[in-house]
């Protein structure tokens, strides 16, 4: 792509990129427990009064505590842990190919999937990039959502036709940062650079990709263009929902209300410690004399003006509407978990709960997780097909792919095991292995079962003869 065309594309997509990144940054702030209540403190939760020497806004209101509540991080990690702690099992109806796919995804696939759920919750869509390294090995990595700006077709298929990736990079020679802008299509990636996001000095990044001689494999130079030969744009979107909306904006207002009430409550508790004394017809010279008399004699001078005189000392303190605030905090907290479709960890009071009761507890979280899973299934299928294409599987783009997702939740294993035992004689071994509460990898369980059966046959010979062949030996001797 030419510089002029790339500059035009960058300028036309910059508005969309900025709008997306602003929402993502706000979600990340709340995920790091840097709620809007802490903006004055640059994202840090602090308990303090107004700075010394600074005039308080009100004589009776000097406390200015700003502590943010960490609801968003709890809710996001709750879903990620529930949905993606155990990676889904992939089955393409070929045991050897299943193992190859599992090996390619790697041992940390579950962790990466967990990160994708967190990114999708904070930005509305997470992104994964895959490539073939110099050794011919399939690789993949998670790309920060604020680096990617997709370009889709305008038809109903909404096909990804191009992609912009922009990020800062440190120049080791100058020790300064510059922006790198990559343009991806189904055949190539072209890299550009600029000092800032105004793109006035946009130019090709000519030393970005190495050029190799196809015959000798020797590096012959560098270029700003690389032919990735993957046949498609090697970026996969993992959307959180249809609108690609971050989770935070379903309940951000409620969190802000909770922070406002809570911190107002704390401020009042600090302020109520200041008791104001109202002196009427004080007989002393100044306030310092009043303080000394009060400390030394436990008494103060009062000037009496005769009958009907109201001289004396009164005290004034702040009254806190405790009941109303406690009720509002509890109501707001409940609404946060309802709107976020999460589980309040302080509201679980059931002991020895049945499977049905536990399912009811997880019902809202399950609805949210099931929706996320539905969108992630398509994305994961695309990743698996990319791996099969790399493995040169002939029907990689059409072979059926089965995914088995496992939730991580409190469950009544005894009750579940009883159901499995009752259905064992009328259900396939595969279904039993999948439903067994003590089995994590059902495919490995079936292999272990076959191995155990083989070992028993080797040990006892004919399965109908459990004496290990002793009778046959006696017959031979006779």
Q: Residue 55's pLDDT is what?
A: 47
Tell whether the model's pLDDT for residue 477 goes beyond 50: no
How large a percentage of the chain has pLDDT more than 90?
A: 46
Residues 319, 280: Cα–Cα separation, whole Å: 23
pLDDT score for 277: 61
Question: What angle in degrees, to the nearest 10, is found between the helix axes of 363-390 and 71-84?
Answer: 60
CA angle 240, 242, 244 (to 5 degrees): 50
Q: Which of 26-30, 37-41, 205-209 has the lowest mean pLDDT?
A: 205-209
Q: CA-based Rg of the chain, rounded to a whole angstrom? A: 34
Instruction: Find where tokens 């579950």 sit.
Output: 110
Q: Mean per-residue pLDDT for 294-323?
A: 64
Range in 91-95, 110-114, 369-373 the model is least confident about: 91-95
Q: How confident is the model at residue 300 (pLDDT cuts 50, 70, 90)?
A: low
What is the per-residue pLDDT across 143-167, written as a single tens digit (0 to 9) for each? 999 999 999 998 888 899 999 999 9
Q: pTM value?
A: 0.77
Measured CA to CA, the distance from residue 352 to residue 371 in angstroms comes to 29
3-state SS, residue 258: helix
Contact 437, 416 (CB under 8 A): yes
* CA proximity to 345, closest of 410, 405, 407: 410
Q: What's residue 453's pLDDT? A: 80
Phi, psi of 412 (to 5 degrees): -90, 90
With tokens 């490995």, the residue in question is: 444
Query: How many other β-carbons are positioned within 10 Å of the β-carbon of residue 262?
Result: 20
pLDDT bin (cut points 50, 70, 90) of residue 297 is low
Find out whether 340 and 75 touch, Cβ atoms under 8 Å: yes
- Categorize the per-residue pLDDT at 459 as very low, low, confident or very high, splitting at 50, 70 and 90: confident
In order of 37, 81, 277, the CA distances from 402 in angstroms are 46, 22, 76
Planar angle of CA 222, 225, 230, nearest 5 degrees: 120
Residue bearing the bigger pLDDT, 306 or 171: 171
Dihedral of CA 111/167/161/19: which sign?
Answer: positive
Nearest residue to 127 (alpha-carbon basis) of 141, 110, 108, 111: 141
């Amino acid at each position: 792509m030419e510089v002029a065309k790339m500059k035009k594309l960058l300028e036309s997509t910059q508005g969309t990129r900025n709008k997306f990144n602003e929402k993502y940054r706000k979600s990340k702030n709340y995920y790091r427990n840097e709620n809007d209540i802490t903006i004055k403190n640059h994202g840090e939760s602090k308990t303090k009064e107004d700075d010394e020497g600074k005039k308080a806004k009100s004589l009776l209101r000097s406390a200015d505590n700003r502590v943010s509540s960490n609801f968003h991080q709890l809710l996001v990690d709750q879903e990620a842990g529930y949905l993606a702690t155990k990676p889904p099992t992939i089955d393409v109806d070929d045991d050897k190919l299943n193992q190859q796919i599992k090996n390619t995804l790697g041992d940390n696939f579950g962790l990466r999937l967990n990160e994708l759920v967190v990114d999708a919750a904070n930005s509305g869509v997470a992104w994964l990039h895959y490539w073939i390294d110099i050794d011919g090995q399939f690789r993949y990595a998670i790309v920060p959502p604020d680096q990617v700006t997709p370009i889709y077709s305008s038809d109903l298929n909404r096909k990804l036709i191009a992609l912009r990736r922009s990020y800062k990079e440190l120049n080791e020679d100058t020790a300064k940062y510059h922006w790198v802008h990559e343009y991806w299509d189904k055949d190539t990636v072209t890299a550009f650079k600029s000092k800032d996001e105004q793109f006035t000095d946009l130019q090709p990044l000519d030393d970005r990709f190495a050029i190799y001689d196809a015959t000798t494999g020797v590096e012959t130079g560098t270029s700003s263009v690389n032919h990735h030969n993957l046949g498609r744009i090697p970026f996969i979107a993992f959307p959180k929902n249809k609108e690609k909306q971050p989770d935070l904006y379903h309940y951000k207002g409620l969190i802000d209300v909770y922070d406002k009430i809570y911190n107002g409550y704390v401020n009042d508790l600090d302020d109520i410690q200041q008791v104001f004394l109202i002196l009427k017809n004080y007989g002393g010279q100044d306030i310092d004399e009043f303080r000394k008399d009060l400390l030394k004699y436990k008494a103060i001078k009062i000037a009496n003006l005769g009958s009907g005189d109201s001289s004396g000392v009164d005290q004034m303190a702040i009254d806190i509407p405790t009941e109303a605030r406690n009720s509002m905090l509890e109501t707001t907290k409940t609404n946060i978990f309802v709107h976020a479709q999460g589980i309040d960890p302080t509201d679980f009071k059931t002991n020895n709960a049945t499977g049905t009761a536990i399912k009811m507890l997880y019902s809202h979280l399950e609805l949210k997780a099931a929706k996320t899973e539905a969108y992630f299934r398509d994305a994961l299928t695309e990743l698996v097909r990319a791996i099969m294409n790399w493995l040169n599987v002939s029907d990689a783009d059409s072979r059926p792919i089965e995914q088995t997702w496992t939730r991580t939740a409190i469950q009544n294993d005894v009750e579940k095991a009883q159901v499995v035992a009752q259905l064992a004689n009328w259900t396939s071994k595969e279904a039993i292995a999948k439903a067994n509460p003590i089995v994590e990898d059902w495919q490995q369980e079936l292999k272990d079962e076959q191995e155990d059966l083989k070992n028993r046959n080797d040990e006892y010979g004919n399965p109908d003869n459990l004496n290990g062949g002793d009778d046959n030996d006696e017959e031979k001797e006779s």
